Amino acid sequence: MRFNRSVLTAAALAPLALGATTALAAPASAAPNTTPQKVCGSAYKTVNSAPVGSLGTVYLTYNAANAENCVVTIRSTPGTAVDMGAGIYVPDTGESAQDSGRYTSYAGPGYVYGKGHCIDWGGNIGNVYVQMTGSNCAALKEHRVTRTR
- The tens digit of pLDDT for each residue in 80-131 reads 999 999 999 999 999 999 999 999 999 999 999 999 899 999 999 999 999 9
List the beta bridge partners of residue 61: 46, 70
The string over 74-98, giving b where at least 16 C-beta atoms fall within 10 Å of a residue's C-beta and e elsewhere, is: bbeebeeebebbbbbbbbeebbbbb
Closest residue by Cα to residue 27 from 18, 39, 16, 35: 39
**What per-residue confidence (pLDDT) applies to 21?**
33
Average pLDDT over residues 26-52: 83
Distances (CA, A) of 79 to 30, 37, 44, 52, 55: 8, 21, 26, 16, 11
Q: Which of 50-59, 122-131, 135-144 has the lowest mean pLDDT?
A: 135-144
Q: Is the pLDDT of residue 137 over 90?
A: no
pTM for this one?
0.78
